[in-house]
Structures are given as structure tokens and as C-alpha cells.
Amino acid sequence: MGCFVVMIADGLRYGEAVDLTRDNLNLGKQIVSVRSRPATDFLPPFDVKDHEDRYVPIPKTTARMLAELLVTLRNNIPFILLTPNRNREIIAKWQEHRRLGKPWTNGRMANNMLVTLRRHAQWAGIADHKTILSDKHSRKQRASGLEPPTFSLEGRS
């Protein structure tokens, strides 16, 4: 659910949200940095759309949620909004691609994310999940001081 909260409240694309690491967060200043990252032995590369790194202000509620999430994560979990199993799958997939010399794309990070969002939106009574994803500029304005919309996806899986 954390991934959806960050996408909805902060205007991040799903690929940007699933790629978030501890290095992308400045919770004291309530900012998420979205930036390209070169490949390492351990982590796949990440390319920001249009190659434009940016800093996104986040609401206090999102910063609190992320802070609570970080407390529960082990240090060997690089992608903070993904499950430990999904982290392991991505790292293994990256290492296999690297071993075979195959190219990597950001799309390999997300696994049926939009299908899951559609299902959660339907359960939460949101008729059109595309409205959530396309209202990026309004989310940025809300993030600059106003709290995100209040609806809950809790209790749904």
C-alpha cells in the first residue's frame, strides 16, 4: 500500500515509486528525490523519464508513513516500497541480466502494479483509477502544504 500512497499523494510515476531507496529520501525536509542511478553489481540502473532529475515535496502524513516503514526494514532491503521477496526477485533478475549481458529497463521493476492499483481503487470505491494517476500537478500542489486526499486502502489485499 505504501507505493500507492506515495504515487497518489506525491505525483510519482509507478516506476519512480518502486525504485525509491533510502538515498532518495530526506524526511526531515519532507522531500523525495527522483533521479537516475547507474547500475552497480547489486542494483539495476534507473533512468528518470526525460532524464530530468527532480525533488518532490511530500506531505507530513507521507513522511511519517515512510519514516515508520524505514524503522521496520532491514538494511539489506534496497527498494523501500517493495516487499522483501520482490526485492530479492529484482536483484536476482538484475544479476541474471548482467551475467547474460542483456539490457535492463525500468519496467522490469514493476510487477502488475497497474492491475493491483486498479483492484485497490475499485475496492476503495474510486471509480476511475486513471484519475489518480493523471492528476500529477494537483498532487504536487497538495504536497507543497496541503494534506493528500483521505481515503483508505487498508484491509484490502
Q: What's the pLDDT score for residue 8?
A: 63
Q: What's the pLDDT score for residue 94?
A: 95
On the 0-12 / 13-18 / 19+ scale of CB atoms within 10 A, 154 is exposed
| Three cell numbers, residue 14 | 509507478
Q: What's the pLDDT score for residue 106?
A: 85
d(CA 95, CA 90): 9
Phi, psi of 115 (to 5 degrees): -65, -45
On the 0-12 / 13-18 / 19+ scale of CB atoms within 10 A, 119 is middle
d(CA 14, CA 130): 12
Q: What's the pLDDT score for residue 151?
A: 44
Residue ranges of the chain with per-residue pLDDT less than 70: 1-4, 8-9, 111-117, 127-157
Does the predicted TM-score (pTM) go above 0.85? no
